[in-house]
Amino acid sequence: MNNDYSKVIPCKMTLQFLQITILVLLIPLSAVFAQRRVTGTVTGSDNAPVPGVTIQVKGQTIGTATDASGKYALTIPGNDAVLIFSAIGFTSQEIPVGDRNNINVTLAETVGNLSEVVVVGYGTQKRREVTSAVTTVKAEEFNKGNVSNVSQLLQGKVAGLSIASPGGDPNRGFSIRLRGLSTLGANTQPLVVIDGQIGADLNTVDPNDIASIDVLKDGSAAAIYGTRGSQGVIIITTKSGKPGTTRISYSTQGSAESIYRDTPHMTAAEFRALGKGTDYGANTDWYKEISRTALSHNHNVSLSGGTESTTYNASLTYRQQEGIAIHTGYRQLNGRMNVTQRALKDRLVLNLSLTTSRRDADTGYAEAFKYATIYNPTAPVYSTDPQFDLTGGGFYEANFIDYVNPVAVLKQNTRTGETKRINFAGSAQYEIIDGLKFLVRYAQQTTSIYATAYLPKEAFFDRNFLNVSGFQRNGYAYKGDFEEFNQLYENTLSYDREIQSFNLSLLGGYSYQQFKNQGESAAGGNFLTNFVSDDLSAALDFRDGRGTITSYKNASKLVAFFGRVNLNYNDMAFLSASVRREGSTQFGENNKWGTFPAVSAGLDLNKVFSIPQVDNLKVRASYGITGSLPIRPYLSLDILNLSGDPYYTGNGNYLSTSNPLRNPNPNLKWESKNELDIGLDFTLFNNRVTGTFDYYNRTTKDLIFLTNVPVPPNQATQTYLNVGELKSNGVELALTYEVLRDGDFTWTTGANFSSYNVKLNELNVDADYVGATNLGTPGQENTQITRAVAGEDIGILWGPVYMGVDADGKYQFDDGEGKPTHSTDYKTKIGNGLPDFEFGFTNTFRYKRFDLNFFLRGAIGHDLINTYRAFYENPNVATSYNIVKTKYFNPNVTDGQIFSSLFVEKASFAKLDNATLGYNFKLPPNGLVKSLRAYLSGQNLFVITGYTGADPEVRYADPNDDRSLNPLAPGVDRRETWILSRTFTLGLNVEF
């Protein structure tokens, strides 16, 4: 057989070649069939779409970018692709595609985003253009947990901004100070601007509805607001709708709050062992009796979305919060609607917003905590023995001064408040030509407060020691109705234009604002029965002339013209100048107008010198003059006072007489604050580190103060005069560092530091000191404990210096030369109620879907007068009261209680204000739920302090009573303050 292999072998090779060729041709074809389309939307941390984001397939040249709505579409090869999302000013993200066809991404801004928009007075600027001291806090940076007040969002977050609310009272507001005290009046709080509305009430907006907060700290930034900028400006921007699919979000929280720190006092066993007081046989923990684990919950639902021409955002929030004291708490409902309409090819922009809220509060009485501290721990809560049931109410009572069963205080007596707020604002902006915009804004705000209180016939509690206990007055009722209204009308004309390397921005405007306040109250007793307490006409006191009725009404107006120019040269050099001319009806006839100019400049040194590892290094300087309004209208006018009851003149006629109460002052004028600020803003190491430093120096002149004057030549003994000068300076530093920002684990840390001191430089009054306050009742009404002195720092605590006790147990004090004396005549400065510096420290960790944030806050160098110790830390008071027992308690004292430096304590502290652990659930693509997050948060988790009182928080003003605050007397820890609480919160956020 003849086998010709020469023919077979070529055929086999041809077949193999053919197979390989087909395989090679099929490989790209299979890749084509494996490709698929992925779509999605990229947003920023504020849920706004981010255009121009680059989406790249890792390791390949395939990519695309987001459009103006943040949307993208990309064809990818297979399921193993990894997408890289990157944009200038944002941290890049790498996301495996897997089997998903829709991937929505939220990009976090890098710490050094110079394109970030900052809200300033009457406009916005890019971060790189800002030449004054402005700090922005965004929603993701806010404090978390059971936050019911906007002030809590910012606490400890802004260098130089001090926010405090000692104790755990859910109905108490917050003291806010920016760079210390700049006035002697009551208007110590910064001006609040909400979505352009000047002087808006901070309580009209719910914390859930806020997108960002900008704080204008220096005079240059605040001068555009003129008369109300001396205390700084807080600008709130609320959430708005975005074009695209309608978004529904729901968030809910449940919280448990309990006592964390109280005032140390003797237990029943310790009280018995002391052997000085009466043992009634019980073992009562009075704090336990008046407190509870307070359970609270809140719910927020919001709806947002729209088209390219119409966007909307609406929200509804309900809060129900219990206080740790029984029979206290509140229920609140907030509603908000914001609609924006664009027309005429987006040249016309209309905006309408409406906010409303209602709060029903049970405020209780803070005195219950005082009585829980000092009430005999061996006394029972209840008694039917007539010897102890002094009023027939079934509670144990004893007849000592300032001594009431704390359980009875809260269970028998009621005090409520009903607050309604309505805020309406509308604006229309039209772009006449490119860059030239005209805006009209109108807004009005109404606040109505209805307050009631009733002390029943059986109540032993005498509030403020005015002989108005329910028992003394056979039932006693109070009702008050108060209303505040203001309306705002403004026009602005702005122009923006680029001229070669220059960017020019001009603004001019007119502002008119009107304020009206009115109210009335009535109080009286002697009811036939407690059941008619809501009907004041049933109080027989009004028939007998013992009832009291008060009323008031006042109004004022502000008119202003203002202008500003901003200049940006090549994103390197920046200049801003503004002026506001403002008139107010609150000032004297000869000084109704004031002028408030400002100028600031900045230079990015990095663009001049090109420094390695420095992304931005801007040095800036600013100078501005701002004003301060008086505490109320009519201070410049002649005020008369009715002198007694009308008297009968015969023939059925009655005549009332009046006498001068206060002299007029036609020359009363603005308090004006001149402020110089030198600052440095920097970002380093590829935007990983950002920071800002400020030094400021300011002087407030022509301080308005109620001054004693001679009679004659004056008709009255007092006149409001411009009498003095405050000087202050300080430094502020804020740093943020992205320690780890790539990969599954990220870590960002930040800290801020501020230091200030305020001196009463001049005070042209006939007195050695002003602003003094006393220790209080019982028996210490004439014991002065604070004062403000010309030439000295604000915050002086005043009294004798303690030097121990002698062999007989008598107190000894420094005689001024270092020798002991029993005399208290040698008084001096024994402390200062304001801190040397304050700080905040935050850390945020993220690992895959987990995140952890904790925040520390502290104040260093301030002193507090512990008034509990000053009254009750003495073994001899045990005959009537329980003993406050701290590390300073001395059982060998035989003296009566005498105030001295012994009761002034260093109150420096560091608090773990907040810690939050969260988890973002992985959800199926294209599902109904777009995002789901659960978190656990704790507030006031621990406090590090040497202070023995309940809360070492700074007291920026002394609440002598419920009706006034004294900013010249900080550092007094009053007994009528709630104790410190700790809260744990479980929350859930869902977006559809």
Quickly list DSSP for 97-141. Answer: -TT-SB--EEPPBPTT-TT-EEEETTEEEEGGG--S-EEEEEGGG
DSSP, collapsed to helix, strand or coil, labels residue 471 as helix
pLDDT score recorded for residue 13: 41
Tokens at residue 973, please? Answer: 């820890």
Helix (H) or strand (E) holding 16: helix 5-34
CA distance 177 to 196: 22
Tokens at residue 358, please? Answer: 């209602």
Nearest Cα neighbor of 593 from 563, 558, 565, 641 is 558
DSSP, collapsed to helix, strand or coil, labels residue 590 as coil
Nearest Cα neighbor of 219 from 606, 621, 574, 811 is 621
CA distance 653 to 988: 70
CA distance 957 to 934: 39
Please give the single-letter amino acid code of residue 30. Answer: S
The DSSP bridge pattern shows strands 436-455 and 476-499 to be antiparallel
> Do 399 and 390 contact (CB within 8 A), yes or no?
yes
Nearest Cα neighbor of 71 from 53, 44, 93 is 53
Instruction: Tell me the pTM.
Output: 0.87
> Do 161 and 203 contact (CB within 8 A), yes or no?
no
Cα dist. 483→419, 447, 480, 519 in Å?
10, 6, 10, 6
Tokens at residue 457, please? Answer: 């016939």
Phi, psi for residue 221 in degrees, rounded to 5: -70, -35
Name the CA dihedral angle for 48, 53, 57, 60, rounded to a multiple of 10 degrees.
180
**How far is residue 273 CA from its own chain's centroid?**
46
pLDDT score recorded for residue 46: 61
CA distance 851 to 370: 41
> Do 476 and 532 contact (CB within 8 A), yes or no?
no
Residues of the chain whose pLDDT is less than 70? 1-34, 45-47, 88-89, 110-113, 115, 186, 464-467, 643-650, 652, 654, 656, 960-964
CA distance 582 to 592: 8
Q: Compute how many other C-beta atoms are within 10 angstroms of the C-beta atom of residue 9.
A: 10
What's the start-to-end Cα distance of the chain, in Å? 82
Strand intervals (E) in 141-293:
161-164, 175-178, 191-194, 197-198, 210-216, 233-238, 244-261
**Tokens 């002989």 appear where?**
467
CA distance 621 to 605: 14
pLDDT score recorded for residue 244: 80
pLDDT score recorded for residue 648: 58
Helix (H) or strand (E) holding 221: helix 219-222
pLDDT score recorded for residue 7: 38
DSSP, collapsed to helix, strand or coil, labels residue 465 as helix
Q: Could you tell me if residue 186 is left (phi over 0), alpha (psi between -120 and 50 degrees) or otherwise beta?
A: alpha
Nearest Cα neighbor of 166 from 970, 986, 775, 798 is 970
Cα dist. 461→263, 406, 959, 988 in Å?
21, 9, 20, 43
Residues with Cβ within 8 Å of 69's Cβ and at least 6 positions away in sequence, in order, are: 41, 49, 51, 243, 244
Residues with Cβ within 8 Å of 947's Cβ and at least 6 positions away in sequence, in order, are: 864, 866, 905, 906, 907, 908, 909
pLDDT score recorded for residue 544: 86
Planar angle of CA 937, 855, 46, nearest 5 degrees: 75
Phi, psi for residue 29 in degrees, rounded to 5: -65, -40
Nearest Cα neighbor of 82 from 110, 107, 103 is 103
pLDDT score recorded for residue 17: 42
Domains of the chain: 35-106 (2.60.40.1120)
Name the CA dihedral angle for 790, 795, 798, 803, rounded to a multiple of 10 degrees.
-130
Nearest Cα neighbor of 338 from 490, 486, 211, 233 is 211
CA distance 686 to 111: 10
The DSSP bridge pattern shows strands 191-194 and 233-238 to be parallel
User: Sign of torsion, CA 605 608 614 615?
Assistant: positive
Tokens at residue 735, please? Answer: 């740093």
Helices (H) and strands (E) in the chain, counts: 11, 57
> Do 179 and 728 contact (CB within 8 A), yes or no?
yes
DSSP, collapsed to helix, strand or coil, labels residue 942 as coil
